[in-house]
Amino acid sequence: MKELTLFYLEGCPYCINAKRALEELRSERTQYAAVPLKWIEESREPALADEYDYYYVPTAYLDGRKLYEAAPGQRYEEIRESLRRALDAALAG
For the chain, domains (ranges, CATH) are 4-92 (3.40.30.10)
Contacts of 36 (CB under 8 A, 6+ apart): 1, 2, 3, 4
Residue 93: predicted pLDDT: 79
Per-residue pLDDT at 60: 98
Give the E-state strand segments of 1-93 in sequence order: 4-8, 37-41, 59-62, 65-69
pLDDT of residue 19: 97
Q: Is pTM, for the whole model, over 0.75?
A: yes
- What average pLDDT is seen over the chain? 97
